[in-house]
Structure 1
């Protein structure tokens, strides 16, 4: 008997809950960042891939100003509020703040919204560093854009999601996650210039597998030191007298020391690695790709100090199993979450075997390996 697809389950659940079928159903992908971590809020470069793990949003317009929201995967009470009263975030943490934040951000741009019934489901692992929150924000913004026929671009959707994070979720994130979810291209990584918001697609080599390994070590950007790292980068920028770390050269960093030196050095070198990896993808030099990924993890561990011993051990295990052609590093904001690996398809079984034999999370759970396909950004489901 065939399993019901998430999309069919969403449509059925919406019909049962709302009493009517949705008039708009959209989806937006999660993402994995290949290289360029914590560079986006420093106006630097990063190289993410939109992956075939999704958030789906079903929506139906109402005749009043009421918004009802159901998160099908959480088993928590619905959120219900009115659009003709000021939107405020709920006490932290609360999943509905992402929805409230997106609608507030759209309204703040001068767009009048009608009431809506909204149901949400997804298969982007939560708390794993694959941008489940950005996927939700962009999917919801896409659904509102289509249902209200709003003149919003993909870049607008990304900015709306980022504003929701800042003002309602309490995370001063950059814009990489939302841009990748909104503008992803099938079969390609995206080189993002987070100052100009220019996006350039670089096709992934056919022989290269994109693998994401869930460590089962949960992380949360708001609760972690993410905001502290952003503050330290801002302090380093002020100490250098520059508009952002985008303008910093390695020679400039001799004017820093201690923590600020390490933070700035990571940002400068990882931004450069993002551009280097984009070029290496075209060349197909798997040994150079692997070396760069290993350097990126060492920078996260030693200079930006966002890893932890369990993640370092997992990355080492992965690199040993992969060998010289390809490599692995921790991906995402840090302190747990996932490892991203680029390796020949033929090496994936060996990697899986090494994980089965050699890794358990602190709670005893095994790692989960996902083969991911670079996919398109937000759109109709």
Structure 2
């Protein structure tokens, strides 16, 4: 069995939806669709086609904006943009996944779009690019993606990074991966209105094939961990939809800042578990729990890097279970459906793999790591039990780690 195929004979289409890039739409298919759509909308051929991947965070959630550690992998689902320069300052963007909706605006007058909110990721990213590298002009762009929106796999960061990568390619701008990540984060924080950390944009820009990436969100130092050949990444969308900007994500960030300030530190990165526990009696219980998750999660994330390098499945399983319990009890961002998914997976996998909620929470996805020989067992569990317990169908994404943003054509 390769990285994207499995035996489907025992699973009913009524119970489970399975997505694997190599089984349906290939990269060449997407390139052909984009190039054809570009000609249809603009009447001439695109100059460049760029790609930026989505991501799954293997462990380390809500640590990034606290200056801690995260361990994501870029995945083989992402966003594609075909583009061509213009001789003026106009940006035209066609979103194929939004029924071919088209927006136009000038680089000299970028304002928030209430009518087509998807375009704000483009607008915010270009505001950041104009400030840093203003020597570029307009462009005609066609966008297509296959990262499920609202699932916690970072479709927004993929979108931001690929827009920046495309403009840099079209105008030969000296834009590094780290710069693109920081600009995407700026767009999200200052224009879109979500106080996300740097993880999503950094892994989309700087991912490495067959590797997970340990990111120090304070220093932006990167270490890569080779993913063992027989280790499968299985992403399970609970299909509990969430809106990150409108959720309690920003509330959680504020609580972390309050806890750090109470402890006299710039961020929770500067607080040890011993210091937190010493102040437990004086700290509001909810702030203690939030801080306890963040501090312990960063420790688990560094331990996970070592466990991956050792291919220690028992330790990987234990760390992922601890992470989910912390997200449930201390950070309170799981849902009953996510908890059910993790419990079902953990019961079947035992020490042969782990499962945990991934992403911002309040819905979205669970990630499981296991040997490929256990993949069918995972799918059978979901087909038999998840729908019966929740009334929902799970979407399964069979993934592998890929490179960050690149110019495809």
Alignment TM-score, normalising by the size of structure 1? 0.97
* Aligned residue in 1 for 2:312: 285
> Per the alignment, in what secondary structure is the counterpart of residue 57 of structure 2?
strand
1-side partners of 2:319 and 2:252: how far apart?
23
Give matches, 1:139-150, under 5 Å: 139-150=162-173
* Aligned residue in 2 for 1:63: 87
* Aligned residue in 2 for 1:249: 272
Give matches, 1:1-381, under 5 Å: 5-75=29-99, 77-85=101-109, 87-91=110-114, 94-254=117-277, 255=279, 256-360=283-387, 364-381=391-408
> Per the alignment, in what secondary structure is the counterpart of residue 327 of structure 2?
helix
1-side partners of 2:389 and 2:105: how far apart?
40
2-side partners of 1:7 and 1:267: how far apart?
41
> Per the alignment, in what secondary structure is the counterpart of residue 333 of structure 1?
coil
> Per the alignment, in what secondary structure is the counterpart of residue 324 of structure 1?
helix
Q: How far is 1:216 from its partner?
A: 1.0
Whether the 8 Å CA contact 1:6–1:122 is kept in 2: the answer is no
1-side partners of 2:57 and 2:285: how far apart?
27
Q: Which sits farther off after the overlay, 352-361 or 363-372? A: 363-372
2-side partners of 1:289 and 1:185: how far apart?
21
Whether the 8 Å CA contact 1:70–1:79 is kept in 2: the answer is yes
Q: How far is 1:214 from its partner?
A: 1.1
Cα 1:296–1:43, aligned 2, differ >3 Å: closer, same or farther?
same
1-side partners of 2:125 and 2:213: how far apart?
24
Tell me how large the CA RMSD over aligned residues is. Answer: 1.5
1-side partners of 2:71 and 2:361: how far apart?
16
Per-residue CA deviations over 1:12-63 (Å, capped at 9, x if unaligned) read 0011101011111100000000011011111100000000111001111111
Q: How far is 1:311 from its partner?
A: 1.0
Whether the 8 Å CA contact 1:217–1:361 is kept in 2: the answer is no
> Per the alignment, in what secondary structure is the counterpart of residue 21 of structure 1?
coil
Per-residue CA deviations over 1:161-194 (Å, capped at 9, x if unaligned) read 0011012211010000000000000000000000
2-side partners of 1:190 and 1:124: how far apart?
20
Cα 1:93–1:234, aligned 2, differ >3 Å: closer, same or farther?
farther
1-side partners of 2:84 and 2:169: how far apart?
11
Cα 1:140–1:362, aligned 2, differ >3 Å: closer, same or farther?
farther
Structure 1: unaligned runs, 5 residues or longer: none
2-side partners of 1:303 and 1:168: how far apart?
30
Q: Which sits farther off after the overlay, 90-99 or 59-68? A: 90-99
2-side partners of 1:169 and 1:359: how far apart?
34
> Per the alignment, in what secondary structure is the counterpart of residue 173 of structure 1?
coil
Q: How far is 1:361 from its partner?
A: 9.0
Whether the 8 Å CA contact 1:70–1:118 is kept in 2: the answer is yes
Whether the 8 Å CA contact 1:26–1:142 is kept in 2: the answer is yes
Q: How far is 1:253 from its partner?
A: 1.0
Whether the 8 Å CA contact 1:46–1:271 is kept in 2: the answer is yes
Q: How far is 1:93 from its partner?
A: 7.3
2-side partners of 1:227 and 1:26: how far apart?
31
* Aligned residue in 1 for 2:11: none
1-side partners of 2:302 and 2:330: how far apart?
20
Per-residue CA deviations over 1:306-340 (Å, capped at 9, x if unaligned) read 00111111110111122222110010000111100
Whether the 8 Å CA contact 1:217–1:362 is kept in 2: the answer is no
Whether the 8 Å CA contact 2:236–2:396 is kept in 1: the answer is yes
Whether the 8 Å CA contact 1:216–1:361 is kept in 2: the answer is no
